[in-house]
Homo-oligomer: A and B are copies of this chain.
Amino acid sequence: MARRAAPVLHRDNPEKEPLSGHVKVTPEDWLNVARDLLVSEGVAGVKVLAIGERLGVSRSSFYWYFKSRKHLLEALLDDWEARNTAPILDHCDLPAANISWAVCNFFRCFVDPDLFDASLDFAVREWSRRDGKVRNRIDAADAQRLAAVTAMFERHDYSAYEAEARARILYFMQCGYHALEVREPMQARTARLEGYLLGFTGAEPDQQAVAAARAFAEQKMDR
């Protein structure tokens, strides 16, 4: 075996790229495009060839940076874990004058793509349905987040029982919203924030908190 035609060299094939020569990429480039594909196409769409094409680079150079596609997927999972849970925990721990402010703080996470990438979170969630290891990691993340929201309600004098029920309503509702990917302008959504507060705190909404959250969301929309 090992009989093989001589590879076509650049100088013999000027159509390729005038003089730029090799295109250099970093492992981060591969990872970034992989994340995009995970979100837009699902884990099945994370293909070495597809990433290489988008980077304008040959497929085989991938194997210089990653041992295999499987290792890329592991890196992708680490990347998600490093991004998406900490901001929620932080925002639940933020000091708040009353429950309205606390809920509005929580709400900010799900409005600001820099704090929490909902698309990425749900792409990983979908992936987890077909992979036990992924599933375990996302279960742990959900447990952490729910515990943080529960603690938030408890700090505002709800009983343990009510705090947990309301935390679940709040977190599940927000996740349901993203799961359904409702096509609704951000304005309509924030306008209904007051209604939500009415629904799940059982207290009169603090209009200042609502206004602040609305302003924040609208500002995030402008970008």
Q: Which residues of A contact B (CB under 8 A)?
A: 41-42, 44-45, 122, 125-126, 129-130, 139, 142, 161-162, 164-166, 168-169, 171-177, 179-183, 192, 194-196, 198-200, 202
Contacts and interface: CB of A to CB of B under 8 A. Distances in A.
A126 B128 CA distance: 13
A182 B44 CA distance: 24
A169 B129 contact: no
Contacts of A196: 165, 168-169
Contact of A175 (B44, B164, B179): B179
Contacts of A179: 122, 125, 175-176, 179
Contacts of A169: 169, 173, 196, 199-200
Nearest to A119: B129
How many identical chains are in the complex?
Answer: 2
B42 A129 contact: yes
Given A41-B130, A168-B195, A174-B176, 11 more contacts: A42-B44, A42-B129, A125-B180, A162-B195, A165-B194, A169-B196, A172-B180, A176-B177, A198-B202, A199-B200, A199-B202
B176 A42 contact: no
A122 B161 CA distance: 29
A204 to B, nearest CB: 11
Nearest to A163: B195
A44 B166 CA distance: 37
B168 A192 contact: yes
10 contacts: A42-B130, A166-B199, A168-B192, A169-B199, A171-B176, A172-B180, A173-B173, A176-B177, A176-B179, A199-B199
List the 10 closest pairs (A to B, CB-CB), nearest first.
A165-B195, A176-B176, A172-B176, A179-B179, A175-B176, A173-B173, A44-B44, A172-B173, A169-B199, A199-B200
